[in-house]
Structure 1
Amino acid sequence: MREMDFQAFAKAWQAGWNSHDLDRILSHYSEDILFQSRKAQVLTGSGVIRGKAALRSYWTQALEAQPDLIFTVEDVFEGHDMMVISYLNHHGVLAAETLYFGADGLVVEAAACHRAEDG
């Protein structure tokens, strides 16, 4: 994999989400992305989403359901061809996204975890 600036990626990731521009958000992800999230299960019936088109469909629904969505990156953890971004959402709920990168620098696998909203 090429050398990665994880801090710059996290800033671009946050800016993409806060813009609500799906093309901008999805520009970080490969066509064959594998995404896992318990929150996806609520909207799609599955906690596993395969492929960029399916991810676009899920995130379209998610953004429509939360038009005030804002993410604030709290911390960035760097790994070998992967990173974890911890962030707060617009309700103050702490979450973390683990991102695995392919040789082209695009995310090939991602998993989102959220702290329970009651603490």
Structure 2
Amino acid sequence: MSMMPSNMLPVQQVEDNSLGHFLYGLMSAFPLFFVPVLLSFWLNLIQKNVNPDSVLGSHLRWQRMSIIGLCPFFIAGYWLSPLWLSLPMYLLGVSWFSYRIFKGWISLNDGLAV
């Protein structure tokens, strides 16, 4: 009777996070007329086969909320007519969005959920 050695650990299935890396790459190209962000948002929304409780699922949710959260900054910046009021709003939104991209991408690279 052969016994399995006690030091053998169960094999964990590795999740493919390349989609998350690709979408973070598109999001980081937001200075290019915002088109890459819209493309990444659309690609994010059509992902139906990703488990929402997985690491990739948490990052897809993080990306969606980052893009949706950027919209109020840009809307407020648009409606604040003097440039000295609208420019800080745009800069605050871009800084916040950049932080979200950076934090999410680093977490995904480390294999951590956000």
Do they superpose with TM above 0.5?
no
Structure with a larger share of its residues in helix: 2
Q: So what's the TM-score if we normalise by structure 2?
A: 0.29
More strand by share: 1
TM-score, normalisation: structure 1: 0.28
Structure whose CA Rg is larger? 2
